[in-house]
Amino acid sequence: MTHLGLIGITLALPSCGGRDEAEVAPPMEGTPMTIRLESSAFEEGADIPRRYTCDGEDISPPLSWSGVPDSARSLVLICDDPDAPRGTWTHWVLYDLPPGASGLPEGLPADEAVRFASGGSDHDARQGKNDFRKAGYGGPCPPSGTHRYFFRLYALDTTTGLGPGASRRPVEQAMQGHVLAQGQLMGRYTRGR
């Protein structure tokens, strides 16, 4: 085998197979976990119902939150799977949520710009492209085994300034240095159960 072939195998090895608990992306450095993020569909660490996966209706789950700082100007929600075989897989990017919103209804439309009711008011937000290359939510769809799905909500002291349809990377770049608080909800899914 050539030297270049060995380098290629070495570079490919870290992306094979699942990841362990220690390899989950850390929360935004130094940002307090003061937002309480919940779902009426599943509890922290529990199984995500089939309805919200590629094996079911593939619709977004209902979410609710509290503890957003008064100084927040916008919210960002990112859902990902750190156990994907080739690295973290992004399932949902939702940004420029108004800080007055206290949750999301089940089945948010898969549009780049969305309007939804929360806390007695209508709110507008933007959805980015997930790793399925589509706008909005793409549910759990692991190739095998049990995967963990992290829903993370961030309160920002600004808006992202991004148009609808941005991918995760520019959203996270816009968040840098602006995260006031965060919250997290993790659910699991195993195909074939």
**10 lies in a domain?**
no
110 and 57 Cβ atoms separated by less than 8 Å: no
**4 lies in a domain?**
no
How many whole angstroms separate alpha carbon 21 and alpha carbon 176? 25
Q: What's the whole-number mean pLDDT along residues 130-141? A: 96
Phi, psi of 5, deg, nearest 5 = -65, -40
* Residue 59 tokens, joined: 């619709």
**111 lies in a domain?**
yes
Of 100, 127, 105, 126, whose CA–CA distance to 116 is shortest?
105
pLDDT, tens only, 69-88: 999 999 999 999 999 998 99
**9 lies in a domain?**
no
Q: Across-strand partners of 125?
A: 114
pTM of the full structure? 0.85
**129 lies in a domain?**
yes
**24 lies in a domain?**
no
Question: In which domain, by residue range, is 176 found?
Answer: 31-190
**Could you give the number of structural domains in the chain?**
1
* Residue 126 tokens, joined: 């933007």
Report pLDDT for 28: 64
- What's 180's domain CATH number? 3.90.280.10
What percent of the chain clears pLDDT 70, i.e. is strictly above it? 84
Q: Looking at the predicted structure, is the pLDDT value of residue 92 above 90?
A: yes
**160 lies in a domain?**
yes
